[in-house]
Amino acid sequence: MKKTLLTSLLALIIMVTLTSCGSVQVVADYDKAVNFDNFKTFAFYKPGIDKAEINDLDKRRILRAIENELTSKGFIKSENPDLLVSIIASSREKIDVYNNYYGGYGAGWGWNPYYYGNYNNNVSSTTEGALYIDLIDAKKKELVWQGQGVGYLNSNMEQKEERIKQFVKEIMAVYPPTPKK
């Protein structure tokens, strides 16, 4: 009975952990004085993109995903844009150590001749990434909107592109901002 309960609890914790790893936590900030309806065209801001400290393959994946999201919102890529798009990306290795104890009958009540127990240490390593998408007013050269997404990254190459698309899609879902009344 106790092992079944413990196994069920462990399965629930793993399920919650795995589903939370799939989501991207998104926050956005913007200039409330800006009318975002005036922006119709965009271009990528090369000096900003060149500073992003990620490999060129991932940069291209991110830029393609941003371009797809903006064009799906009705924006047109232009040589004379209203908005300049820049990115900042970072990642860090996150190491978690879990100490698990499975005890037998009477555990925790002092000495027991029938006592048994088992200690397990589990170590897991994941990569957490952050992606910032900056939208800059091309005429004023001022940042008008910034979206940030934080979540876990896949090292599996087949899933990497899909994960990047998910990051960008969830960040761009909050653009244009809708001011609260």
The angle subtended at Cα 21 by Cα 89 and Cα 28, nearest 5°, is 45
In this prediction, residue 8 carries a pLDDT of: 41
What is the phi-psi region of residue 163: left when phi exceeds 0, alpha when psi lies from -120 to 50, beta otherwise? alpha
DSSP 37: G
- Name residue 76's beta-bridge partners: 41
1-40 pLDDT tens trace = 444 444 444 433 433 343 344 689 999 999 999 999 999 9
Indicate whether 131 pLDDT > 60. Answer: yes
In this prediction, residue 103 carries a pLDDT of: 55
Q: What is the CA radius of gyration of the chain?
A: 23
pTM over 0.95: no
Indicate whether 132 pLDDT > 80. Answer: yes
Least confident of 47-56, 75-84, 113-122: 113-122
- CATH for 24-95+124-172 (3.20.20.100, 1.10.10.10, 3.90.1150.10, 3.30.160.670): 3.30.160.670
CA 68 – CA 72 distance, rounded (Å): 6
The residue that leads in pLDDT, 174 or 2, is 174
In this prediction, residue 12 carries a pLDDT of: 36
Biggest distance spanned by C-alpha atoms of the chain: 81
54-104 pLDDT tens trace = 889 889 999 999 999 999 999 999 999 999 999 998 877 767 676 665 555
136-172 pLDDT tens trace = 999 999 999 999 999 887 777 778 889 999 999 999 9
In this prediction, residue 91 carries a pLDDT of: 74
CA 67 – CA 22 distance, rounded (Å): 23
